[in-house]
Amino acid sequence: MRVSLFITCYNDTLFPETGKAVVRLLERLGHTVEFRKEQTCCGQMHWNTGYLKEAIPIIRHFVNVYRDAETIVAPSSSCVSMMRDHYMKAAELAQDAKLAADVESLLPRVYEFTEFLVKKLGVEDVGATFPHKVTYHTSCHSQRSLHLGDIPIRLLKQVRSLELLPLENPQECCGFGGTFSIKNPDVSSAMLADKVRTVLNTGAEVCTAVDNSCLMHIYGSLHRQRTFVRTAHIAEILASTAGAQEDGK
């Protein structure tokens, strides 16, 4: 299958290892990956912060870049939920019927990375090996918007040598919320403290998730406290093989 990767703006800028892992894994599974260099951002930060009219050109840009793509995969549930939950609203707000039609045609071709593996490709065992104790953080958008359910867990359970440790209160937000963590730093920190406490309680060496946004937040505290517990996007775990662990670690 020809897969068009939407890396997302913060993975592109801050977490290139995640993108490399997605490429490595999809190619290992025999698929063709393309990267359209015109891509930028899904518009989520602007939209969620209330800069609605500023988000519209960004959304329009995304739609134009991927108009003819066969399948679009993004390693971020929050970006995919931005598209599914808000793109039609944005088209309505812009009073742009053509944009609405484009969005309608595009959305069924957009997948979150783990959703793509399990729902579209029907793969659960991707042949990965990851000899570490891992706990999985259920990001808000993955559970409440995309309804991924146990898809990421099913993928992790097939990884050789991986010990999966359950996280307490998995449904509770880590407190990131994009600009929420900047506008409400104290409340966000208190939420993060609770989340990090549960991560540490598991005894895991690595905390994973389908969103690097949550992981950036959680790792921010894990590093500040010098816990030496690290975070890794699920793609980096699934791309790891017995010979090659994730890069840069």
Among 6, 177, 229, 233, binds other proteins (CB under 8 A): 177
Closest by alpha carbon to 31, among 132, 156, 131, 122?
122
> Residue 181 interacts with other proteins (CB under 8 A)?
yes
Residue number, 65 or 164, with CB nearest to other proteins: 65
Among 96, 163, 172, 205, binds other proteins (CB under 8 A): 172
Beta bridge partners of 33: 3
Residue 27: half-sphere exposure toward Cβ, Cα within 13 Å: 10
Q: What is the DSSP letter of 243?
A: S
Q: How far is CA 5 from CA 1, 82, 240, in A?
A: 12, 16, 19
Residue number, 208 or 221, with CB nearest to other proteins: 221
| 3 state SS of 229 | coil
Pairing assessment for the beta strands 71-74 and 110-112 based on DSSP bridges:
parallel
Among 108, 122, 186, 228, binds other proteins (CB under 8 A): 186
Closest by alpha carbon to 103, among 47, 62, 53?
62
Site map (CB under 8 A) of other proteins, residues 123-152, x = contact: -----------------xx--xx-------
| Minimum CB distance to other proteins, residue 46 (Å) | 6
Task: Scan residues 52-91 and list those touching other proteins (CB under 8 A).
Answer: 52, 54-55, 57-58, 61, 85-86, 89
Task: Scan residues 93-122 and list those touching other proteins (CB under 8 A).
Answer: none
Site map (CB under 8 A) of other proteins, residues 218-247, x = contact: -xxx-xx-------------------x--x
E strand or H helix that includes residue 198: helix 185-202
Rounded CA-CA distance 55/61 in Å is: 10
Rounded CA-CA distance 188/230 in Å is: 20
| Total chain residues near other proteins (CB under 8 A) | 79
Task: Scan residues 17-56 and list those touching other proteins (CB under 8 A).
Answer: 17, 19-21, 23-24, 27-28, 30, 32-35, 37-41, 43, 45-52, 54-55
